[in-house]
Structure 1
Amino acid sequence: MAATKLVPLALSLALVSSASAQTASPPVVNLGQAPAADESAVVAELTVVAKPPGPAIWLVEKDGAKLYVLGAATPLPHSLKWDSPRLNKALDKASLVLVPPQAAVGVTQAAGFILTFGGGLRQPLGKRLEDQLPPDLRARFVAFREQARKGPGDYKNWKPAVAGFLLLSDFRQAAGLSEAKPVSTVERMAKARKLKVKSVGQYRMSAVTSIAGKLSPDDQLYCLRVALDEVAYDAAHSTTIGRDWAEGDLGAVRARYRESAGQRCLTHVPGGAALLEKGIAQTTDAMTEALKRPGVTVAVVDLGFLLPANGVLDRLKADGATITSPIE
């Protein structure tokens, strides 16, 4: 298994300018109903100025420091063209750009993980994935596999959970959806401005593969089901996924990103919730450190870390930061 295939698996299993003061108040867009118990109060209650176009951005301020947070949605269409005057202006003032945790994996590590955890991730000798699936799951898996232009041999040796997330990644690639965006786009924008780009941390592949290797047969099937549910969602919304995000339609984005397949799988299995908590805490710590430095920082944070109750923005506010939606 190539290292490039392990990275999406780890990350999956791992979230307008205003009118001038002399004009009438600018229109606002309410984000919808009051937050559910498991949703971020900061995200759900904050209103956002309707213009300019662009994805949701939050301005976090503390002790004179400014942190602009771009909520990242994955996947986005490779061909998506989007513009954000607020992000451009923030980058023009910034000296540092923070991006999500990266999976710590290389070719040597990938081979080591397969050898170390192969017994838990691979089918027993002589067994084939599709032969082991219940009829309903097998039918769904085969249908999506064929849409991804993959044959049965591409997944035959993997346990259901691993195969499900590999298929999700392959399906997105075949559908023209990118799991690297918008982070890769913001990194290019930062590079063009000669800004320092820093990851908020790393996910160790061993932590993810260790959990995957210990899944019970029922957990394996559950994680496969939620992965296939996300494939189905992506297939039905491939033309709107990017548009909703790029236009800052947080109502639609919230509905989709309340809990991804990776989150649903991880929170269902022993050790998974702790891994997700580590990601949120790691990101929050990096944001807190950024607010201790003078000047402006831009951070790209997965919506999966922003939307849950007690997510990154909630924790920053609880620590004394002021959070608004920038209108400049």
Structure 2
Amino acid sequence: MRLQAGILLFALGVLSPAFAQSTTGSVPPPPPPPANVPLLAPVVVSGVVPGPGLWKVSKDGHVLWVLGTLSPLPRDMQWESRDLDRVIGQSQQVLLQPKIKLKADIGFFGKLFLLPSAYGARKNPDGKKLDQVMDASTYARWQVLKQKYIGRDRGIERWRPLFAAQELYKKALKANGLSTSGGVPGTVETLAKRYGVQETPVDYHVEIKHPRDAIKAFKAAAPSDLKCFSRTLDSVEHDLPEMTERANAWAIGDLATLRALPDSHRRDACVSAITNAGFAHQLGLDDVSEQLEAKWLATARAALANDRTSFAMLPMGELLSPTGYLAKLQAQGYTVESPEQQDAAPATAGSVPTPAVAGSTTAQ
């Protein structure tokens, strides 16, 4: 049974997936957004949007189409991608987003006894409050943002900075018209079920044989999470306009802007707080990024070997990065084409704009 509480759930949320979103290099100026996409205050895309184009990975006549995902995204967008509909309708399988799954060897009654201990792991040791575990200037920033986005919640003052930062971030996204996923995974799942396409999980499993000991280890060697906390304050204070611009760029398919705008690296700081903590090695969390990458690459290679057409989702940073997952496939001999490269090349059989293959259907 999966452990459903405390630090392990939080670690799962931060580390699934744990990818950098930044890119380097010069880019051409972004094109203007389509005129039929309304922009509502505070400049968050709303209404029907096309989303980004799909990356194409191919070898020996087999194709894996890859959608770049992003977080956060506009909360009120209605994503309708004809390319996505057509590709999933032609695919033999859909590779789900890579995730880390934590499993604990624990029965029902054990779970009941574990929950209070896990809840205690969320709190600062010795009953300390946030103002007792950080400097006065950082705490003053927290108080301003807490009042704005969370309100009068006394309980959160006893949380570890790692958990308090995550709660603040979620509330700030919601208040600014953003959401963590924009409903993208749900849309892909709906299309896969509509066309009867196999959904293939890409999971790296971390088994925790002694969950009680794991929680004790967390309490004894908890993460140094003040960097994560401070970086989250920075993101909420200063990065929300750029987050919104990146979210809008994804919604309207503006890859030039996505290439140009760097990510805040808040996630990186929080991932490091988990993977560099004293308990991480005991739980098998210190090399999760490498393990997850190896798992996804192996699954993608298998799909490209066995399926004429398949589909996958990856964080946009892995598509844009010169050292990302697709760059690794390219180095292994696969042909990788961005949406811009496909637009510039002559149309070929099997490309997205062609009609669906015989026997498939397209949503009306």
Where on the TM-score scale, by shorter chain, does this alignment land: which range? 0.7 to 0.9
The question of whether the paired residues in 2 share the 8 Å contact of 1:148 and 1:174 is answered with yes
Task: Identify the match of residue 231 of structure 2 among 223, 226, 229.
Answer: 226
Q: Is the alpha carbon distance of 1:247 and 1:156 closer, same or farther for their aligned partners in structure 2, counting shifts above 3 Å?
A: same
Q: What secondary structure does 1:145 align onto?
A: helix
**1:299 maps to which residue?**
312
Q: 2-side partners of 1:205 and 1:146: how far apart? A: 39
Greater mean deviation of Cα atoms: 260-269 or 312-321 = 260-269
| Distance in 1 of aligned mates of 2:207 and 2:230 | 22
Partner of 1:280: 293
Asked whether 1:311 is paired with 2:321, we answer no
Q: Larger radius of gyration, structure 1 or 2?
A: 2
User: How far apart in 2 are the matches of 1:7 and 1:56?
Assistant: 32
TM-score by length of 2: 0.67
Task: Name the amino acid aligned to 2:253.
Answer: G
CA-CA distance at 1:233 after TM superposition: 4.9
CA 1:212–1:76: 2 relative to 1, 3 Å: farther
**Deviation string for 1:230-257 (max 9, x for gaps)?**
3335533464343211222223323555
1:75 aligns with 2:96: no
1:136 aligns with 2:137: yes
Looking at structure 1, the residues matched to 268 and 290 of structure 2 have their Cα atoms a distance apart, in angstroms, of: 11
Residue 98 of structure 2: aligned partner: 101
- In the alignment, is residue 91 of structure 1 matched against residue 88 of structure 2? yes
2:101 and 2:185 mapped to 1: Cα distance? 17
Query: Which residue does 1:123 correspond to in 2?
Result: 124
**2:167 is the alignment partner of 1:166:** yes
Local SS of the residue matching 1:122: coil
Partner of 1:193 in structure 2? 195
Equivalent position SS for 1:141? helix
Q: Give the alignment's TM-score, normalised by structure 1.
A: 0.74
Distance in 2 of aligned mates of 1:150 and 1:124 = 24
Paired amino acid for 2:188? V
Q: Letter of the 1:156 partner, please give it.
A: E
Q: Which one of the candidate residues 35, 44, 59 is aligned to 2:56?
A: 59
Check 1:80–1:274 CA distance in 2 against 1; reply closer, same or farther (3 A cut): same
Counterpart in the other structure of 1:31: none
CA RMSD of aligned residues (A): 4.1
Distance apart, 1:280 and its partner CA: 2.5
Letter in 1 for 2:181: A
Cα-to-partner distance string for 1:209-242 (whole Å, 9 max, x where unaligned): 87897456xx321111122223335533464343
Question: Is 1:178 aligned to 2:179, yes or no?
Answer: yes
Counterpart position of 2:38: none
**Contact kept in structure 1, 2:103 and 2:207, CA below 8 Å:** no
Over 3 Å counting, the alpha-carbon distance change for 1:273 and 1:60 in structure 2 is: farther
Change (3 A) 1:266 1:179: same
Q: What is the DSSP-based 3-state SS (H/G/I as helix, E as strand, rest coil) of the residue aligned with 2:192?
A: helix
- Specify whether residues 205 and 178 from structure 1 end up closer, same or farther in structure 2 by C-alpha distance, changes over 3 A only: farther
Which digits, 9 at most, give the CA deviation of each residue in 1:147-199, with x for residues without a partner?
32343434223221232123222332444432233222222232232322222
Q: Which runs of 5 or more structure 2 residues have no equivalent in the other structure?
A: 35-48, 344-352, 354-364
Corresponding residue SS for 1:144: helix
1:276-312: per-residue Cα shift (whole Å, max 9, x none)? Answer: 2223222222212211112211101112433444210
- What is the CA–CA distance in structure 2 between the aligned matches of 1:205 and 1:114, rounded to whole Å? 21
Q: Runs of 5+ in structure 1 lacking a partner?
A: 16-37
Query: Structure 1 105/273 Cα, relative in aligned 2: closer, same or farther at 3 Å?
Result: closer
Residues 53-77 of structure 1: CA distance to partner in whole angstroms, max 9, x if unpaired?
Answer: 5314210001221100101001212
Letter in 1 for 2:159: W
Partner secondary structure for residue 57 of structure 2: strand
Q: 1:5 to 1:122 in 2, by over 3 A?
A: closer
Q: Following the alignment from structure 1 to structure 2, what is the Cα–Cα distance between the partners of residues 4 and 211?
A: 10
Q: What corresponds to 1:250 in structure 2? A: 255
Distance 2:178 2:75 in 1: 6
Q: Distance in 1 between the 2:66 and 2:24 partners?
A: 15
Paired amino acid for 1:301:
L
Instruction: For residue 264 of structure 1, report the CA deviation from its aligned partner.
Output: 3.1
Structure 1 position 101, deviation (Å): 2.9
Counterpart AA for 2:71: T
- Number of corresponding residues: 300
Bigger Cα displacement from structure 2, 87-96 vs 224-233 = 224-233
Determine the structure 2 residue equivalent to 1:265. Answer: 270
Contact persistence 1:91–1:190 (CA under 8 A) = yes
Residue 8 (structure 1) shift: 6.2
**Cα separation, 1, equivalents of 2:59 and 2:220:** 43
